[in-house]
Amino acid sequence: MTQLKLPALDPGTVEERRGSLYPEPFRSRMGDRAKRRLGEACSLTRFGVNLVTLGPGGQSALRHWHTLEDEFIYVVDGELTLITDRGEQRLTRGMCAGFPAGVRDAHHLVNRGGAPATFLEIGNRIEGDNGFYPDDDLMWGFDEKGEYPAHKDGRRY
């Protein structure tokens, strides 16, 4: 295949990023998770598009909801479990889910299978957005340097 040139892009040419902004013990819980920032690679600024691969046991994020940002996911390959307040649903290739801003139904994807699974995650970018985590002792505080992870009683991690 001829190499694509922007504005077209082969996701395989975009760097895989691992790691997380969460403090421990949350960071390790994400497991085998690699993201390719496709939107950024195309110079988009209004919303982000990541192609995310979760190995067995990997998680998309802590279960969370956003105050100001819509989110959408589309399963490209493999099988994932979506966990929300209403319980668990199995998402196979071609299935999707959408999470409107401000709806307090926390969500995440977990790979419970034995093979990697890949999905697209899309979120718009809004200054002042916050995320909340009903299952975990984590929240984000804001000071003059930006946001920082804190316990729910306010102490910084």
| Binding positions for a second copy, rule: CB under 8 A | 1-2, 4-11, 38-39, 41-47, 49, 69-70, 72, 74, 76, 82, 84, 86, 89-92, 94-101, 103, 105, 107, 120, 122, 124, 126
Calculate ∠ Cα 143-150-80, nearest 5°: 120
Query: Which residues fall within 8 angstroms of residue 99, CB to CB, at 6 or more apart?
Result: 65, 66, 70, 71, 72, 105, 107
How many residues would you count in the chain? 157
Report in angstroms how near the CB of residue 6 gets to a second copy at its nearest.
8
Nearer to a second copy, 72 or 140 (CB): 72
Report in angstroms how near the CB of residue 9 gets to a second copy at its nearest.
5
Nearer to a second copy, 25 or 102 (CB): 102
Query: Which residues fall within 8 angstroms of residue 21, CB to CB, at 6 or more apart?
Result: 149
Nearer to a second copy, 97 or 139 (CB): 97
Token pair of 57 as six digits:
């046991």
Report in angstroms how near the CB of residue 10 gets to a second copy at its nearest.
6
Token pair of 2 as six digits:
């001829």
Report in angstroms how near the CB of residue 62 gets to a second copy at its nearest.
17
Token pair of 134 as six digits:
């009903």
Nearer to a second copy, 96 or 115 (CB): 96
